[in-house]
Every structure is written in C-alpha cells, then in structure tokens.
Structure 1
C-alpha cells in the first residue's frame, strides 16, 4: 500500500480557523471523488504557529493508482483547490510498514 503524506501550510490571507474548516469540510469532498483512493485522513495542527496547518494522508494500492487518481479530472480539481488555499504543499510518498 502506498501512502501519500501531504503537509499543507495555509495561504497568508486565510486564518487558521478558516483553513481548518476548509480542509475538513470542503477539501475532503475532492478526496471522496478520487478514483482508487483507499483511505484518507486529515489532521489539523493545534496552533497558528505550527510549521504546517494540516497533515493529510492518502492511501492507494500502488504508484499506478496514485498517478491515475491525480491525473484524473477530480485529481486535477483537488490540486487546484489545494493550490488556491495553501502557500506551501509538501508531498511525501511512503510505504507504511508497522501499525500498533
């Protein structure tokens, strides 16, 4: 299973509260439409001074599924929505090995 960890820093014109509402209520709708997405989690930071405002985790069967999802119409719309609300996005492609 491939996990994409996305670290999001809100745009300067958006408050932490506005960002939190957007990422958990609005942006999640894009994730629901991504083909091949197996699991999606969003964690919002607890303060305005955090280096990132949210950590989003997207799970796919493999790299081909990830590429297909983000290459789709819904994937491109999700990327555009994220770009409109963030100043910085960092994406880490990972393979999860252990869970407690």
Structure 2
C-alpha cells in the first residue's frame, strides 16, 4: 500500500479560515472521486500558526504507484490537482510505505 502525504502552504493573501474551509469542506469531494483511492484524510491545525511551514497535510492511500499515477491521470485527478494548485502556494508530496506500530 502506498501512502501519499501532501504538505501544503496556503496561497499568499488567503486567510487561514478560508484555507481551512477549503481543505476541510471544498476540496475533499474532488479527492473522493479519484479512482483507486483506498483512503483519504485531511489534517488542518486547530489554530493558525504563522511559524508553521505548512497549513495542511492530506493523506491518501493507493494500492501502488501505478494506481496513484492512473488516478491523477484521469479527469477527476486533474481537477483535484488543479484545485489544490489553485489554493496552495507550495505542495510537497511525501510517498511512503506505512507501517502501523500501534493502531
């Protein structure tokens, strides 16, 4: 199973509340349409922290890298990617194999 964590910083001029609403309410319906997506979580700090390098971290699970590439190659994937790019000044995708230690 491939886990993709996307660390995002909001666009310049976008308030924390606007970004938080986008991340928790507006973007998830787009992500939910990705074919082959096995799990999805969005993490946003409970309070704004101006010193934080990121304003949200999304977590997505796919069977493998081929599944991730296929999902983002679809119209739904392109729409989700464009939406994220339109709201984030930077995104870093960290891809890993998750090992649950306590769960």
Render the CA deviation track for 1:56-94: whole Å, top value 9, x for unaligned: 000001111101011111100111101110100000111
Structure 2: gaps of 5 or more residues: none
Number of residue equivalences: 100
Shift of 1:51: 1.1
TM-score (norm 1): 0.95
Is 1:67 the equivalent of 2:36?
no
TM-score (norm 2): 0.93
Is 1:80 the equivalent of 2:77?
no
Asked whether the 8 Å contact 1:16–1:48 carries over to 2, the reply is no
Runs of 4+ with >3 A deviation = none
Structure 1: gaps of 5 or more residues: none
